[in-house]
Chain A
Amino acid sequence: MPEPSNPIDPDQAISAGGGFGGAMDLAASDATSLEKAPGHGQEPGGPTAKPRSLWSDAWRDLRRNPIFIISALIILFLVFISLWPGVIATQDPLQANLAKSQQGPQPGHPFGYDEQGRDVYTRVVYGARASVTVGVCATAGVVLVGSVLGGLAGFFGGWWDAVLSRISDIFFGIPVILGGLVFLSVVTNSTVWPVVGFMVLLGWPQIARIARGAVITAKQNDYVQSARALGAGNSRILLRHITPNAVAPVIVVGTIALGTYISLEATLSYLGVGLKPPTVSWGIDISDASDQIRNAPHMLLWPAGALSITVLAFIMLGDAVRDALDPKLR
């Protein structure tokens, strides 16, 4: 603290300048208030003039966290190659040359060929698209459905909460792999959407529980009662006072869940009920390669390695986000 004077005396504390006021400031936020104090008067307000909110604090923590930087770079790269795989892989992932079946690395084909004589490198690059799409879409769906249902249950309570909690218990009770084998084996559509839909169906209760708990915690805060006492209605209280104070745990769990959805996609594809050829997926390639692990380990190692790195990156990102947003969960 820059000021050793009596922290309670308001006039003294304030007259020291723009940013010193809160004697109870965390040391970290104080640093920003110092940086920000000079130019602050000219700021016109609006979203740019939020120097010391929870989010800017979290962002500052994140930027300094090497785990975040590494995982974010990996994820950016993954997103890039899922959008434009052709930039780094010029061949066709579906083109098969049986003459080269199971052959090892050779010039122009650094990862070798798979059983069908397709280029493993190209397939690993193209496989990112399925994994990232499934992971991102499933997470988005789960967070959307789960936080809306869970948030409303937590906010309004009563019978809606009771019914929803029981429904989510039922979905919790369905074993994921078994459910996948049952539900997805009847699906003939080979796109990612049935898999995404299945994950949202089984995944939302997890987020709903988190959101419900977070909303109940936020709801009990004095500032919610105070907003109500000053005439705010339900929708304003929910959107403006509760949501910003309850999203952190949802974001944290959602980010970590993203990695698990990617590995779940691979698991389901491995079992033959997830994505189906001709969609290129690491899970399918791992499944194909697992028979030949002694003859041609390269067929297994590259897609499996890509999968592991991807899942690891998302889980590391989730950890970093958790540390920044909600240190209590650590």
Chain B
Amino acid sequence: MATSLEPTSESPAPESGAAGGGPLLDVRDLHVEFRTREGIAKAVNGVTYSVDAGETLAVLGESGSGKSVTAQAIMGILDSPPGFVTGGQVVFQGRDLLTLGGEERRKVRGARMAMVFQDALSALNPVLSVGEQLGEMYRVHRGMSRKDSKAKAIELMERVRIPAARERVGDYPHQFSGGMRQRVMIAMAIALEPELIIADEPTTALDVTVQAQVMDLLAELRREYDMGLILITHDLGVVADVADKIAVMYAGRIVETSPVHDIYRKPAHPYTKGLLDSIPRLDQKGRELYAIKGLPPNLLNIPPGCAFNPRCPMAQDVCRTEVPALAGVGAERSSACHFWKETLGE
């Protein structure tokens, strides 16, 4: 287990503080696999992305594309076994987290980087009141007393605009509405004012009207604390307003990265294009909705060449043999497609 955490190359990043030159978080060529009875599932195959302080990166992809697994590997909460980080670096504030010991990593979690989960009802402990769970952040990391931590919990609940925080601090998660629960989740994540928040589909379980409120809250807190935010989602509609840049994942690889607005106008990868075309639009009322044909690949057996080739309308022979590298295709944009020019040019 310990050996698999060793990085494949020596750490080149100089020890610089949080304010150092590099980005806040720099994920380089990350590989994660799950060793199961059926075989080795390659969930993440060389993901590279970075987030700066105050920046929002949206990671987009279908279920099984590896976006959540990447996040778990960054956080260091991968279930191991069966999950193993087999290569790459996670450089956070100048330090490669993968080289840190368990206890050091634990201290980073919650304090320096925190995570917001998809379903707050299941991500909050049902037998503890929300006040206890919020206060626990301060008791674990700051050694605060029960009384002080409760006061802090109320303060936090007010900061994420939960009405009547003082009265509700002793309530249990099931007594809150979905949106309020997600606010509690967010409050837990920002409790120690971390530099980075990873939100794993934070609004998927919510009603549309509440989705917008929760996204606004996240964006506002990010501005207020100048945090980096990684927003994992499969919903292109959610990201348009809040994200600065987008990374699209498919079968454990980044297939396209782009500033947010360019991607809607001109996708540089057929998969992104397929995703955009499958969004229902008012001006296409009455016409059949586009869907990407086929199914996502089985991670135990990823097709050779470009993983998307069996589903790609533009696939040529080269796509079935050669894995396209993620290459620059314009200002701050990159695409992993042999035919990115054709895709852009359409």
Which residues of A line the B interface, CB within 8 A? 7-11, 13-15, 17-19, 21-26, 29, 33, 40-41, 43, 45-46, 49-54, 157-158, 221-223, 225-233, 236, 240-241, 244-245
A14 touches B164 (CB 8 A): yes
Please give, as numbers and ranges, the residues of chain B lying within 8 Å of A45 by CB-CB distance: 131, 146, 150, 169-170
Docked Cα-Cα span, A49 to B129, in Å, equals: 10
B69 to chain A, nearest CB (A): 12
A230–B109 touching, CB < 8 Å: yes
Knowing A223-B125, A244-B127, say if A229 contacts B176 (CB, 8 Å).
no
Contacts A13-B177, A157-B81 known; list 10 others, CB within 8 Å.
A13-B180, A14-B168, A19-B175, A26-B174, A53-B127, A225-B123, A230-B189, A233-B103, A236-B140, A245-B125
CB-CB under 8 A from A13, the residues of chain B are 177, 180
Is B177 a contact partner of A229 (Cβ separation < 8 A)? no
Chain B residues 258 to 304 lying within 8 A of chain A, measured CB to CB, are none
For the A-B complex, the count of residue pairs with Cβ-Cβ distances under 8 Å equals: 150
- Among B63-90, those with CB < 8 Å from A are 72, 75, 77, 81
Residues of A within 8 A of B174 (CB): 22, 24-26, 29
Quick one: given A10-B210, A51-B170, A229-B77, are A23 and B177 in contact (CB under 8 Å)? yes
B192 to chain A, nearest CB (A): 8
Tell me the bound Cα distance from A158 to B167 in angstroms.
44
Does residue B49 face the partner (Cβ distance < 8 Å to A)? no
Cβ proximity bits B318-333 to A, threshold 8 Å, 1 near / 0 not = 0000000000000000
Interface string of B121-135 (1 = CB under 8 A from A): 111111111010000
Are B170 and A40 interface neighbours, CB within 8 A?
yes
B175 near A33: Cβ-Cβ < 8 Å: yes
Q: Smallest Cβ distance from B228 to chain A, in angstroms?
A: 16
Which of B81, B122, B125, B140 has most A Cβ within 10 Å?
B125
A225 to B167, CA, bound (A): 28
Which residues of B are found within 8 Å of A245, using beta-carbon distances? 125-127
Cα A45 to Cα B206 with chains together (Å)? 30
> Which residues of chain A come closer than 8 Å to B103, judged between CB atoms?
233
Q: Give min CB distance, A60 to chain B, whole Å.
A: 15
Min CB distance B274 to A, Å, is: 30
* Cα separation A73 to B209 with both chains bound (whole Å): 53
